[in-house]
Amino acid sequence: MAVDNEELRILTEWSRRLTQELQIRDVDVDVELLLELARKSAESVIHATAPITTFLVGYSAGYEAGAAGAGNKAPAEGAVSEAADIAFGLCEAARNEDPIPRQRD
């Protein structure tokens, strides 16, 4: 999802304020990565998968970073990248097939 400079500034500021209020310390939100992931999932499956995909990527990254050690920023950034790569791969696969196979009766 392409955003202009003003939208990017607003999203970055919103992310900063939200992480402060949620007391999430030492995290840099890659707004452009999350927007691209949301766009890809919405295009590949259905529109409503965008927030679910970005939430689950963040959850997975947080879980992995927590397992690696609290307060260490490098594992968190690596975990986001790894989780996003998995989700991007799944989006690409969904473009080529039915993302949710239906059960046969």
Residue 102 lies in a domain: no
Buried b / exposed e over 21-58, threshold 16 CB at 10 Å, is eeeeeebebebeebbebbebbbebbeeebbeebbeebb
SS3 86: helix
pLDDT (0 to 100) of residue 97: 77
At residue 99 the predicted structure's pLDDT band, cuts being 50, 70 and 90, is: low
At residue 61 the predicted structure's pLDDT band, cuts being 50, 70 and 90, is: confident
At residue 66 the predicted structure's pLDDT band, cuts being 50, 70 and 90, is: confident
* Residue, of 98 and 6, whose pLDDT is higher: 6
Rounded to the nearest integer, the mean pLDDT of the chain is 84
Residue 39 lies in a domain: yes
Give dist(CA 85, CA 43) in Å, integer: 16
Residue 104 lies in a domain: no
- Separation of first and last alpha carbons in the chain: 39
Mean pLDDT of 76-84: 82
- Structural domains in the chain (count): 1
- The reported pTM is 0.75
* Residue, of 1 and 62, whose pLDDT is higher: 62
Which residue range is the domain that position 51 belongs to? Answer: 5-96
Query: What's the longest Cα–Cα distance across the chain?
Result: 51
**Which of left, alpha, beta for 39 (phi over 0: left; psi -120 to 50: alpha)?**
alpha
